[in-house]
Amino acid sequence: MHYRDFGNVNCNGNGNGIGNGIGFGNSNGNGDVNGSNEKVNGANETIKMKPMDSELLREQGHIMVDFIADYYKNLQDSPQDFPVLSQVQPGYLRDMLPHSAPDQPDSLKKLLDDVTKKIMPGLTHWQSPSYFAYYASSTSVAGFLGEMLSAGLSVVGFTWQTSPAATELEIIVLDWLAQLLQLPDHFLSTGNGGGVIQGTACEAVLVVVLAARDRILKQVGKTSLPRLVVYASDQTHSSFRKACLIGGIHEENIRVLKTDSSTNYGLPPESLEEAISHDLAKGFIPSFVCATVGTTSSAAVDPLVPLGKIAKKNGIWMHVDAAYAGNACICPEYRKYIDGVENADSFNMNAHKWLFANQTCSPLWVKDRYALIDALKTNPEYLDYKVSKRDEVVNYKDWQISLSRRFRSLKLWMVLRLYGSENLRNFIREHVDLAKQFEAYVSQDPRFEVVTSRYFSLVCFRLVPLDADEDKCNQRNRELLAAVNSTGKIFISHTALSGKFILRFAVGAPLTEEKHVTEAWQIIQKHASKFTCNGNC
């Protein structure tokens, strides 16, 4: 393939990657991705593409690191240039970019200019210190460097042989993390179980649903699939239903058990017990329960101790989805929320949510690795190798849906090593303290109420109803949310609990400090005055 040489594009920037449209660091380099590659076509000045040129990587890698470092600096120093929630309209980008891919190479400088001017406005800045929506997707320097190293090395460790270090590091690092979480020994690689890094919690729940399904079908026969029933609370993440449907569980056999404020939206064990008895009486086969520690709506905690006992008694696979709150359980004071995990068959948390391991990194541990492997193994000749036999090595392709996989353990290893667990614990504690502070602000303002008990770094709150009118109250809260987010100064999200429209304030972005929480509260208060004067303003 030949490209025209664009010559030396000057990318002598001033180091400000954002806001001024320059977008470059201090490199004197050639902004063209073809760099100083060999010219092969003299007169036409075409050059041969070299996709991985180490010197060009060095030069442009520095430019890119500067660009990203400037991004983080400017997020803090010039927040006015970065509406936290993107304010663009749907389709905004189509008219800003050409309608087809370029035939000839462009320069990195021009490309980064476009990132600054065209892409940045369409970003919601998840790493802004004033991001308080959903749950955070936390980044760190160690996580970033881990991503960089993993992208740079670009190995594909689907079997042990395809990169022994990738497999072996994953086993070791997940044992480390399991120990920090004080998971029972059977989840460690030295037992019958072990850990695997999935991309997301959605993938984690899918693979364990498949493992649980196949485990039970082995006992009762494949034709019993239509009789399998599964359980979860009405607060369970939507990925559970999706996983069950993909796994062939009949939609009408997905039991969604009701929760309410009396248990702070945790699943009452009696409901599970009752549902199981009812199903058994009707000839159904209870096969799976998904318990959550830190639900998506309100960070509710299902009581693992009684749920686990019920699951064990009935031979049901219990999965614990601790995508967000599982991270906090590396702190001894939060570990109690996963008491009862001893009776779980699988446990999952998202280290990219609150352990600073950059997207994506979702460790999953299973009690019986063979249940997972039996459901997911493949054995094509082209992957066969003499040490790839059962038990000799781990072949992670058999623990996940896809064949190819990223070297994610490198990133997790770097986060754990470069920060140390004590720092990680303290950082999580700081976030929880900031959430406590926000909760105190809300509690002190009679126009507002905290709606659910706060366990971690999420505060669920709302404007209180006026004249006991819940419908109007929902509408006012909806309008308050829109008003606050349209400022671009902060981003909070919402949910619904027992028919109430609830505002969610989740602390977890790595740059958030006390001043950002205080400013956020001031913005919310200011806008609240529009909705709290009972129609007289």
Residues 493, 499: Cα–Cα separation, whole Å: 16
Residue type at position 490: I
Residues 436, 440: Cα–Cα separation, whole Å: 6
Figure out which of the listed residues 130, 139, 292, 327 binds ligand PLP, where binding follows CB under 6 A.
292
Contact indicator for 347, 329 with CB cutoff of 8 Å: no
For the bound state, the minimum distance from the C-beta of residue 344 to ligand PLP, rounded and expressed in Å, comes to 15
Q: To which H or E segment does residue 449 belong? A: strand 448-450
- Could you tell me which residues come within 8 angstroms of residue 103 by beta carbon, excluding any fewer than 6 positions away? none
Cα distances (Å, whole numbers) of residue 219 to 19, 132, 225, 285, 370: 62, 47, 11, 11, 15
Q: Is 298 in the site for ligand PLP (CB under 6 A)?
A: no
Question: Of 6 and 324, which has the nearer Cβ to ligand PLP?
Answer: 324
Q: To which H or E segment does residue 264 belong? A: none
For the bound state, the minimum distance from the C-beta of residue 324 to ligand PLP, rounded and expressed in Å, comes to 5
Binding mask 22-61 for ligand PLP (x = CB under 6 A): ----------------------------------------
Stretch that binds ligand PLP, among 218-226, 288-296, 399-407, 433-441 (CB under 6 A): 288-296
For the bound state, the minimum distance from the C-beta of residue 134 to ligand PLP, rounded and expressed in Å, comes to 6
Place of tokens 């009776």: 343
Residue type at position 530: K
Per DSSP bridges, beta strands 254-257 and 46-48 are unpaired
For the bound state, the minimum distance from the C-beta of residue 359 to ligand PLP, rounded and expressed in Å, comes to 9
Question: Of 135 and 531, which has the nearer Cβ to ligand PLP?
Answer: 135
Local structure of residue 491 (DSSP, 8 states): B
For the bound state, the minimum distance from the C-beta of residue 295 to ligand PLP, rounded and expressed in Å, comes to 6
Question: Of 425 and 504, which has the nearer Cβ to ligand PLP?
Answer: 504
Backbone angles phi, psi at 136, to 5 degrees: -65, 160
How far is C-alpha 186 from the chain's CA centre? 26
Q: Tell which residue, 306, 249, 314, has the closest CA to residue 276.
A: 314
Figure out which of the listed residues 237, 255, 431, 527 binds ligand PLP, where binding follows CB under 6 A.
237
Q: Is 362 in the site for ligand PLP (CB under 6 A)?
A: yes
Question: Of 64 and 301, which has the nearer Cβ to ligand PLP?
Answer: 301
Stretch that binds ligand PLP, among 166-174, 198-206, 248-256, 446-454 (CB under 6 A): 198-206
Q: Is 200 in the site for ligand PLP (CB under 6 A)?
A: yes
Q: Is 167 in the site for ligand PLP (CB under 6 A)?
A: no
Question: Of 201 and 311, which has the nearer Cβ to ligand PLP?
Answer: 201
> How many CB atoms within 10 Å of residue 160?
21
Figure out which of the listed residues 34, 296, 346, 395 binds ligand PLP, where binding follows CB under 6 A.
296
Question: Of 5 and 203, which has the nearer Cβ to ligand PLP?
Answer: 203
Residues 337-356 that bind ligand PLP (CB under 6 A): 350
Figure out which of the listed residues 279, 321, 368, 439 binds ligand PLP, where binding follows CB under 6 A.
321
Contact indicator for 214, 373 with CB cutoff of 8 Å: no
Question: Of 65 and 256, which has the nearer Cβ to ligand PLP?
Answer: 256
Computed on alpha carbons and rounded to an integer, the radius of gyration of the chain in Å comes to: 26
Question: Of 5 and 302, which has the nearer Cβ to ligand PLP?
Answer: 302
Figure out which of the listed residues 64, 120, 201, 228 binds ligand PLP, where binding follows CB under 6 A.
201
Contact indicator for 311, 277 with CB cutoff of 8 Å: no
> What is the per-residue DSSP string for 8-67?
--B----S--SSSS----S--SB-BTTTTPPB-SGGG-EEE--S--HHHHHHHHHHHHHH
Residues 135-154 that bind ligand PLP (CB under 6 A): 135
Question: Of 292 and 532, which has the nearer Cβ to ligand PLP?
Answer: 292
Residues 463, 533: Cα–Cα separation, whole Å: 12
Closest residue by beta carbon to ligand PLP: 200
Q: Is 233 in the site for ligand PLP (CB under 6 A)?
A: no
Residues 139, 124: Cα–Cα separation, whole Å: 15
Figure out which of the listed residues 27, 239, 298, 327 binds ligand PLP, where binding follows CB under 6 A.
239
Stretch that binds ligand PLP, among 287-295, 383-391, 496-504, 518-526 (CB under 6 A): 287-295
Residue 212: both structure tokens together: 């649980």
Residue numbers at the binding site for ligand PLP (CB under 6 A): 135, 200-202, 237, 239, 292, 294-296, 321, 323-324, 350, 362
